[in-house]
Amino acid sequence: MTPWIKASLPAIPLRLAVLALFAMSVSAAPASAFFGPFKKNKDDEDTIVYSTDPPDKLYNEGLYYLNEKDFKKADAKFKEVDQQHPYTEWARKANMMAVYSKYKQGEYDEAATEAKRYIALHPASSDAAYAQYLIGMSYYNQIQDVTRDQRRTQEALTELEQVVRKYPDSEYADQARQRMQVARDQLAAKEMEIGRFYLKDRNFIGAVNRFKVVVTQYQTTRHVEEALARVAECYMAMGIVNEAQTAAAVLGHNFPQSEWYKDTFALIQSKGLSPREDGGSWISKAFKGIVG
């Protein structure tokens, strides 16, 4: 089972958190002392009736509840800003804080949906990079063990790649690259798991096809050494010695100290052969940047 890293919650950008200081300074006081009594429907004590308060007051109330970890009320206040004061700067900030609120309470699908909406509405916003990063992280935090479906892993990789591509100079680009590497490693691990299953079942063609994905698409992961070794093993079993020799040669050239290379070299040598690279092989081309 391949380990993977859960991410900590991203911090709120400073520009969005400035007003939070105001809310935090009164966090010890009851809400009614700061905002006045809540208006509630008689049939539902938890339902807050929308008021006619100005947007800055509603926004600060949302920050207060967010600081108190009362995410339901925080969401309601940020939604109120958006609904009662649309097309304002306060509404834009409230939209972003609503995304963060849902992310922090673990409502990842909802957070991703709201973040996509935010980017669609405010593509030129200074917080668009943060919204895109939260989309990627929402999927990243749902990555499953390698024995299970990796759809969320692929989605995380795709969305985090957007951070690096669209916002390369943002403060989230480096964090996105780090998470992308973990996601790639996870996807490579899944391919290796399936490939090993096929190999054990002596389905050598099926196994090679899985290991080939790792060799051509996930060369920077820790699984590529084993993938090359397994490719050599499969080709030797099928009697395709030229490709087996090439896999061994590429493995030895790139990872000369690898235990996988030592085992592969011994396998090739046991048949009276030696590692020899065929430049026309897909294996050789993959490591020259032609395949993948």
Tens of pLDDT, residue by residue over 183-225, are: 999 999 999 999 999 999 999 999 999 999 999 999 999 999 9
Domains of the chain by residue range: 9-35+50-107, 187-292
| Residue 31: band (very low, low, confident or very high) from pLDDT cuts 50, 70, 90 | very low
Residue 52 confidence (pLDDT) above 90? no
> Does the pLDDT value for residue 35 go beyond 70?
no
* Beta-carbon count within 10 A of 173 CB: 18
Of residues 32 and 195, the one with the higher pLDDT is 195
What tens digit of pLDDT does each residue of 274-289 get? 999 999 999 999 988 5
What does the mean pLDDT of the chain come to? 87
Short-list 92, 155, 157, CA closest to 128: 92
Tokens of 7: 């991410």
Number of alpha carbons in the 13 Å side-chain half-sphere of residue 33: 7
| pLDDT value of residue 252 | 96
State which H helix or E strand residue 20 sits in: helix 20-24
> Class of the 187-292 domain?
mainly alpha
pLDDT at 21 over 80: no
> What is the torsion angle, in degrees rounded to the nearest 10, for the CA atoms of residue 133, residue 134, residue 136 and residue 142?
150
Phi, psi at 230, each rounded to 5°: -70, -35
pLDDT of residue 141: 97
Q: Answer whether 285's CB lies under 8 Å from 277's CB.
A: no
What's residue 154's pLDDT? 98
Q: What is the pLDDT of residue 40?
A: 47
Predicted TM-score of the model (pTM): 0.82
**Dihedral of the alpha carbons of 173, 176, 180, 182, in degrees to the nearest 10:** 130
Q: How is residue 115 written in tokens?
A: 């973040």
| Residue 9: pLDDT over 80 | no
Angle at 136 between CA 134 and CA 139, to 5 degrees: 105
As a whole number of Å, the end-to-end CA separation of the chain is 26
Do the beta carbons of residue 242 and residue 268 sit within 8 Å? no
pLDDT higher than threshold 70 for residue 291: no
Residue 20 pLDDT more than 70?
no
pLDDT-wise least confident of 64-68, 156-160, 196-200, 243-247: 64-68
At 152, give phi and psi (nearest 5°).
-65, -35
Say if CB 128 and CB 105 are below 8 A apart: no
Largest CA distance in the chain: 87
Give me the amino acid identity at 62.
G
